[in-house]
Amino acid sequence: MIWSRNQKPWTKAELARAERMAEEIGCIFCGLNGDMGPCAVRHHIIDGNKRMGHWYTLPVCEDDHVKCHNGTYSHAVQIDTWLKVQHLLKLSDELPPSKLPKRDKTEADESVAR
């Protein structure tokens, strides 16, 4: 994983979700197109020039990761795809009311420092 200086560490729940995405789904965009591409990257969805958080990631291959950043897959397409990922994993598809979701104290305590 690439870390930025201001990025919060992944929580146990976020890491578990990321591992399930890679194992159960592979590259979501390849899968939606009928292919079975491996998940090479966890793409953070960006809103307002900021990452929405580790929970708002997509499992993608290298080629589709580039497409997420060059505008081929718009923000709306990425959010729609995120909702599909959540449904496939049978997880909540509730979007945060603001760009930066608030973490409660128990989530912060469970953060995994790397």
pLDDT in tens, 44-53: 999 888 888 8
Q: Within a domain: residue 98?
A: no
Range of the domain at 73: 12-92
Q: Within a domain: residue 36?
A: yes
Q: Within a domain: residue 99?
A: no
Quote the pLDDT of residue 114: 46
Q: How many domains does the chain have?
A: 1
All residues at 6 or more sequence positions from 49 whose CB lies less than 8 Å from its CB, including other chains: none
Q: Within a domain: residue 4?
A: no
Q: Within a domain: residue 33?
A: yes
Quote the pLDDT of residue 5: 62
Q: Within a domain: residue 45?
A: yes
Rounded distance between C-alpha atoms, residue 100 and residue 50, angstroms? 8
Of the candidates 27, 49, 58, 60, the residue with the CA atom closest to the CA atom of residue 99? 49
Q: Which residues of the chain have pLDDT under 70?
A: 1-6, 97-114
Quote the pLDDT of residue 101: 56
Chain centroid offset of residue 93 CA: 12
Neighbouring CB atoms inside 10 A of 95's CB total: 14
Q: Within a domain: residue 101?
A: no
pTM of the model: 0.76
